[in-house]
């Protein structure tokens, strides 16, 4: 029928429909356009791929295009040297160890201590992005895209390590690059780890099978270490914000509630808690191995959530005041400021390399917390003095690298020194005396001391490529602007190159007080995730990760500061 109607007439009759359809189509485009990003297929990854932000909170970091004055050639060359070190380690890992976890740098072998999920790649992925190593980054993304995070029956992933390394690594690489697959894989892994929280208290159990959900305790039996209970909140909260999955927030907040309600002396949070009852199990107060990152995650939860979580802030204030009051001491001869641990109030005078993260944390707090002026000054002095001591323990050694653990010789207890060398008492006396010399106790530069002449004895003389000292140098450099931290960092890097470099990578040392130092056959993944990243950020003039926009998790994976929406605050009870 229609074919008998003349063409002109047909067009006239169809006109209203055509106009209607046109309005409908363009109206749809107009209103839906801003929401269509999620439906568009991603362009294939490639070295020059620059992803488009697909949501309001997404701003990829492009180190090459950060504006600023031309870099100082001295520091640019030093940053390049660190990038070369990363590439050397990466190549060695890929040639001899991939797809296993870590390289054995003396025998060109490999080891699987972290579930066999190529930990060195996952942990080092965001460092690649930060260093502008886009080829290496985009070679790695498909490997991650294909990871199943599966484990055979009766095999277990250590919850804490998997969260801070794998989960933190993927979330950070996602936040920097915008590759959606990294968020999807992080979400998968986070869900697979959730059964770890199937305990009566809500604390996470030591390890979990990612397929069956079976959980098992670690060497601490029924105890969970404070560091392990309180070092998953940054990752899970950021993920809750990205995915809208309330379960992530609620699950990790339980441990925070236990801390808020715990009956403990001042802010002296013990190192062991009963994983089922949620009760403290000892009177051991520390910033070392069993506790370290818990302190970090208190301040950093407050910072990550744009200073909105009062609970985290209160807990940090309590803990950090107790650290300053109870755990800081001066050494006998050089008056070095050090941090130790106490059991039932009695100090051990052990000083751990692991606790060299504390000066960076205190500096970050002094820079950001709403503190009265005297408190802020105390935090800043403590940061400066402790970082100085961490540096001295490096500078003293023949290799130029610091030992893992020493026992400090404390000032003897006397009538004038009733608190047996506690730093705060010395500061108060110095202030009362009118601040002689203008340098607070524990902050004075001291001469290097050789074997047998030091104010400490060795306990563990190894250097395990750990990041804590250079991490603090980086935060101190960024918060104070004092170039000495960069120069000290460079001395550390030169020593790393001289003493630890091997044909295929970098090796831990057995005795830092020898040069050449005897080596240990290991290259932990945190060397590429943390140590080299902090050194690179220390030397590069560009502020790639501004501290008012990013927060580092305890494995040096930067996560972007975000604000909870009103809806989230209401849902989560923030
Ligand atoms: C890292 O895995 C993390 O920094 C953790 O919090 C403790 N220490 C190691 C590196 O020393």
Q: Which atom of ligand 1 is nearest to the CA of 471?
A: 4
The token duo for 40 is 């568009």
Cα–ligand 1 centroid distance for 53 (angstroms): 32
The token duo for 291 is 């506790």
Cα–ligand 1 centroid distance for 182 (angstroms): 22
Mutational test site, ligand 1, from 160, 231, 292, max ligand atoms within 8 Å of CB: 292
- In whole angstroms, what is the distance from residue 97 CA to residue 104 CA? 8
Q: Whose CA is nearest to atom 11 of ligand 1?
A: 466
For residue 496, is pLDDT > 70?
yes
pLDDT of residue 421: 84
Cα–ligand 1 centroid distance for 570 (angstroms): 34
User: Has 243 been labeled as part of a binding site?
Assistant: no
Q: Which atom of ligand 1 is nearest to the CA of 353?
A: 11
Block residue for tokens 């930990």: 119
Q: Which atom of ligand 1 is nearest to the CA of 466?
A: 11
Q: Is 246 noted as a catalytic residue in this protein?
A: no
Cα–ligand 1 centroid distance for 464 (angstroms): 11
Q: Which atom of ligand 1 is nearest to the CA of 468?
A: 11
Mutational test site, ligand 1, from 354, 402, 464, 557, max ligand atoms within 8 Å of CB: 354
Is 73 buried (19+), middle (13-18) or exposed (0-12) by CB count in 10 A? exposed
Q: Which atom of ligand 1 is nearest to the CA of 357?
A: 4
- State the angle between helix axes of 180-193 and 233-243 in degrees (0 to 180), rounded to the nearest 10: 120
Mean pLDDT of 184-207: 98
Nearest residue to 534 via CA among 565, 501, 488: 488
Mutational test site, ligand 1, from 293, 357, 534, max ligand atoms within 8 Å of CB: 293
- In whole angstroms, what is the distance from residue 264 CA to residue 422 CA? 21
Cα–ligand 1 centroid distance for 411 (angstroms): 30
At 467, phi and psi to the nearest 5? -95, -15
Q: Whose CA is nearest to atom 3 of ligand 1?
A: 555
Lowest mean pLDDT among 40-54, 346-360, 524-538: 40-54
Lowest mean pLDDT among 10-19, 204-213, 550-559: 10-19
Digit-coded pLDDT (tens) for 99-108: 999 999 999 9
Digit-coded pLDDT (tens) for 106-161: 999 999 999 999 999 999 999 999 999 999 999 999 999 999 999 999 999 999 99
pLDDT of residue 415: 61
For residue 14, is pLDDT > 90?
no
Task: Find out whether the peptide bond into 99 is cis, omega within 30 degrees of 0.
Answer: yes
Mean pLDDT of 260-280: 97
Ligand 1 pocket residues where CB is under 6 Å: 292-293, 354, 466-467, 526, 554-555
Mean pLDDT of 221-229: 98
The token duo for 260 is 């808020």
Digit-coded pLDDT (tens) for 387-400: 999 999 999 999 99
Q: Is 165 noted as a catalytic residue in this protein?
A: yes
Cα–ligand 1 centroid distance for 356 (angstroms): 11
- In whole angstroms, what is the distance from residue 154 CA to residue 209 CA? 7
pTM over 0.95, yes/no: no
Q: Which of 101, 179, 253, 292 is catalytic?
A: 292
- In whole angstroms, what is the distance from residue 162 CA to residue 334 CA? 40
Q: Is 292 noted as a catalytic residue in this protein?
A: yes
Cα–ligand 1 centroid distance for 140 (angstroms): 23
Q: Is 468 noted as a catalytic residue in this protein?
A: yes
Cα–ligand 1 centroid distance for 306 (angstroms): 25
Q: Which atom of ligand 1 is nearest to the CA of 293?
A: 6
Mean pLDDT of 176-196: 98
Residue 132, classed as helix, strand or coil, is coil
Work out the end-to-end distance of the chain between its first and last CA atoms, rounded to an integer number of angstroms: 68
CB 508 within 8 A of CB 524: yes
Q: Which of 161, 235, 253, 522 is catalytic?
A: 161
Alpha helices in 133-262 (DSSP H): 134-145, 159-161, 168-177, 180-193, 226-229, 233-243, 246-261
The token duo for 482 is 């004092």
Mutational test site, ligand 1, from 163, 404, 464, 467, max ligand atoms within 8 Å of CB: 467
Lowest mean pLDDT among 209-218, 396-405, 414-423, 436-445: 414-423
Q: For residue 207, what is the enclosing H or E element?
A: strand 207-208
Say if strands 157-158 and 207-208 run parallel, antiparallel, or are unpaired: antiparallel
- In whole angstroms, what is the distance from residue 154 CA to residue 505 CA? 33
Q: Which of 179, 405, 455, 468 is catalytic?
A: 468
CB 361 within 8 A of CB 296: yes
- In whole angstroms, what is the distance from residue 203 CA to residue 162 CA? 16
Give the count of beta carbons closer than 10 Å to the beta carbon of residue 343. Answer: 14
Computed on alpha carbons and rounded to an integer, the radius of gyration of the chain in Å comes to 27
Block residue for tokens 């107790």: 322
What's the gap between Cα 72 and its chain centre? 28
Q: Whose CA is nearest to atom 8 of ligand 1?
A: 354
For residue 479, is pLDDT > 90?
yes
What's the gap between Cα 123 and its chain centre? 11
Digit-coded pLDDT (tens) for 66-93: 888 889 999 999 999 999 999 999 999 9
Q: What is the mean pLDDT of the chain?
A: 91
Q: Which of 78, 83, 165, 486 is catalytic?
A: 165
Q: Whose CA is nearest to atom 6 of ligand 1?
A: 554
Write the DSSP symbol of residue 331: B
pLDDT of residue 52: 36
Say if strands 456-460 and 550-552 run parallel, antiparallel, or are unpaired: unpaired
Q: Whose CA is nearest to atom 10 of ligand 1?
A: 466
Confidence of residue 55 (pLDDT cuts 50, 70, 90): very low
**Can you name the residues that pair with 319 across neighbouring β-strands?**
none
């Amino acid at each position: 029928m229609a074919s008998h109607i003349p063409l002109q007439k047909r067009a006239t009759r169809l006109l209203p429909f055509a106009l209607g359809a046109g309005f409908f189509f363009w109206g749809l485009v107009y209103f839906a356009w801003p929401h269509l990003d999620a439906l568009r297929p991603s362009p294939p990854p490639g070295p020059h791929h620059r992803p488009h932000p697909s949501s309001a909170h997404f701003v990829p970091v492009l180190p090459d295009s950060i504006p600023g004055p031309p870099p100082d050639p001295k520091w640019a060359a030093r940053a390049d040297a660190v990038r070369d070190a990363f590439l050397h380690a990466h190549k060695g890992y890929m040639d001899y160890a991939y797809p296993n976890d870590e390289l054995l740098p003396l025998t060109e072998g490999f080891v699987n201590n972290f579930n066999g999920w190529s930990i060195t790649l996952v942990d080092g992925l965001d460092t690649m992005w930060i260093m502008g190593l886009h080829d290496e980054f985009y070679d790695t993304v498909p490997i991650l895209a294909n990871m199943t995070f599966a484990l055979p029956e009766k095999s277990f992933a250590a919850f804490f390590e998997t969260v801070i390394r794998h989960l933190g690594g993927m979330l950070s690489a996602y936040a920097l690059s915008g590759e959606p697959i990294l968020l999807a894989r992080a979400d998968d892994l986070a869900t697979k780890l959730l059964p770890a929280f199937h305990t009566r208290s809500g604390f996470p159990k030591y390890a979990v099978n990612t397929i069956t959900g079976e959980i098992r305790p670690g060497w601490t039996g029924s105890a969970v270490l404070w560091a392990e209970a309180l070092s998953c909140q940054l990752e899970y909260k950021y993920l809750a914000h990205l995915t809208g999955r309330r379960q992530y927030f609620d699950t990790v907040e339980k441990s925070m509630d236990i801390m808020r309600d715990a009956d403990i002396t001042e802010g002296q949070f013990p190192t062991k808690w009963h994983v089922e009852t949620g009760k403290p199990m000892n009177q051991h107060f520390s910033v070392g191995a069993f506790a370290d990152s818990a302190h970090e995650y208190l301040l950093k939860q407050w910072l990550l959530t744009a200073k909105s979580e009062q609970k985290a802030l209160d807990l940090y204030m309590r803990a950090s005041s107790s650290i300053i009051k109870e755990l800081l001491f001066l050494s006998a001869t050089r008056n070095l400021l050090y941090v130790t641990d106490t059991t039932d109030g009695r100090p051990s005078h052990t000083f751990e390399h692991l606790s060299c993260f504390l000066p960076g944390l205190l500096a970050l707090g002094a820079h950001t917390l709403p503190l009265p002026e005297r408190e802020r000054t105390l935090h800043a002095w403590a940061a400066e003095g402790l970082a100085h001591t961490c540096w001295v323990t490096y500078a003293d050694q023949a290799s130029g690298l610091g030992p893992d653990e020493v026992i400090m010789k404390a000032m003897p207890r006397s009538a004038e020194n009733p608190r047996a060398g506690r730093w705060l008492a010395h500061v108060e006396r110095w202030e009362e005396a009118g601040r002689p010399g203008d340098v607070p106790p524990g902050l004075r530069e001291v001469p290097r001391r050789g074997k047998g002449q030091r104010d400490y004895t060795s306990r563990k003389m190894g250097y395990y490529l750990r990041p804590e000292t250079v991490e603090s140098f980086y935060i101190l450099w960024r918060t104070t602007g004092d170039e000495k931290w960069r120069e000290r960092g460079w001395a550390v890097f030169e020593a790393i190159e001289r003493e630890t470099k091997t044909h295929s990578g970098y090796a831990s040392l057995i005795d830092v007080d020898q040069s050449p130092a005897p080596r240990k056959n290991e290259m932990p993944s945190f060397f590429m995730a943390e140590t080299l990243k902090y050194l690179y950020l220390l030397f590069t003039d560009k502020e790639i990760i501004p501290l008012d926009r990013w927060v580092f998790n305890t494995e040096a994976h930067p996560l972007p500061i975000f604000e909870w929406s009103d809806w989230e605050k209401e849902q989560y009870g923030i």
